[in-house]
Every structure is written in C-alpha cells, then in structure tokens.
A and B are shown apart, each in its own frame.
Chain A
Amino acid sequence: NAGVTQTPKFQVLKTGQSMTLQCAQDMNHNSMYWYRQDPGMGLRLIYYSASEGTTDKGEVPNGYNVSRLNKREFSLRLESAAPSQTSVYFCASSERRQGISNEQYFGPGTRLTVT
C-alpha cells in the first residue's frame, strides 16, 4: 500500500519555465489537496478537490493550476515559474466529510527551486 506518491522529489527550474507536479493516491479517497510549505509559515493550501471532477482555490492559488485527472490523480501545474514559487510542495488526500476533519495523508513532498 503506497499511500500518497509524488513525482518528482526534487526539481530545479529557471524563471519562466513550466512544469507539472504529479500526485496519486491508492486509498480510494474522495478529496485531494495541494499545499506549499515555506519556513515559518506552516502549510498553505494552494488548491483542493473535494471530489472527482471538482477543484477549488485555496489560500494561495495565484500562479498555479490543477487537474483532477481521475479519483486517484491530482496534478499541480506551474505555467511560468517564479522565484517566489521556490518551496516544498505536498499533496494530501482524505475522505470527504463535512465539518469534522478526517485525517489527511500526505505524500513525501517535492522540493522545487526556481532560479
């Protein structure tokens, strides 16, 4: 049982380049999330998908796009990378239930540097 997997683990981009971060979960969860983690700022939600076929903006969506390809996969795209997007990106998944939080399962992260 792999849980949540992310690729790549590390990436260096030049300003203006584009790339897609891939995420997949094998727990049959309805909800999936993309976060970025910066020093002293905890995790900030970029986009989430409450269920297959739906996506919505989180706290810091500017500069990013997402695709919920199917129930298993949720990708994050940077169309034109900027140095401010240097961060560690985490994908997570959970069961969908209103109100009370279900446990979110996190992937190992992608460390992105934009020069």
Chain B
Amino acid sequence: TQLLEQSPQFLSIQEGENLTVYCNSSSVFSSLQWYRQEPGEGPVLLVTVVTGGEVKKLKRLTFQFGDARKDSSLHITAAQPGDTGLYLCAGTGGTSYGKLTFGQGTILTVHP
C-alpha cells in the first residue's frame, strides 16, 4: 500500500507570510496532484506534476516534484485570506488506472 504523509496538518498564519506544505512517501509515484478543498465542497485540482524535479507555478503557488518522485512540496508566497482551505496531495502508482492515494491534508488558515 502506498502512503503519503503530509505536513504540517494545521497551519495558521498572517496575511503576507510565506508557507510550505510537504508531501512525503517511501514509494515512487508516477505522478502527483495537489487539490484544494473549501468547506462544504469537493476537492478541486490545482496541479499535476509528472516528471522528477519538475517545478510548476500557478500565480503565487509553486509546486515541486522530488527528483526521485517520492515527495512533493507546495509553497505559497504572500498568503492571502482567500488561500484558506484544505490542501491535499494525491499520488498515482504506475500500474493503477487513475486510482489516487491521498495524504491526510493540511488545513491552512490565513488571518487578515
């Protein structure tokens, strides 16, 4: 069974601060996704990374896939209250048909 460990579980910061969320595993993933979920709604995809060492930027969000494809990070620059939510990483193994293994999630609260 592939496991993804996400840290930290909770993050409470002030507007304008930077933060990083980590997603780690002992298993290799063929691709990794980051989702954001708001209260009362389902998760929504932010990004998919597929190549070891890959870095993707989405405005103030930077996503990195580790060289060995076992870990990933999400960095937010100058966080805003609108970034508040649950962030989930999810990975796919090479032989699965789109099945995702999710991390436990990071609850981010950005205070104005």
Contacts and interface: CB of A to CB of B under 8 A. Distances in A.
B42 A109 contact: yes
A96 B92 contact: no
B36 to A, nearest CB: 11
Interface residues of B, number: 31
B27 interface: no
Given A100-B30, A108-B40, A42 B99 contact: no
Given A40-B9, A90-B42, A106-B44, A97 B102 contact: no
Interface of A: 4, 31, 33, 35, 40-45, 48, 50, 58-59, 90, 92, 94-104, 106-109
24 contacts: A31-B97, A35-B102, A40-B9, A42-B4, A42-B103, A42-B104, A42-B105, A43-B100, A45-B100, A92-B42, A95-B98, A96-B98, A98-B97, A99-B30, A99-B94, A99-B96, A101-B31, A101-B90, A101-B100, A102-B98, A107-B42, A108-B41, A108-B42, A109-B41
Given A90-B43, A97-B97, 19 more contacts: A35-B102, A40-B104, A42-B88, A42-B103, A50-B97, A58-B99, A99-B92, A100-B50, A101-B30, A101-B31, A101-B48, A101-B90, A101-B98, A101-B100, A104-B43, A104-B45, A104-B100, A106-B43, A107-B42
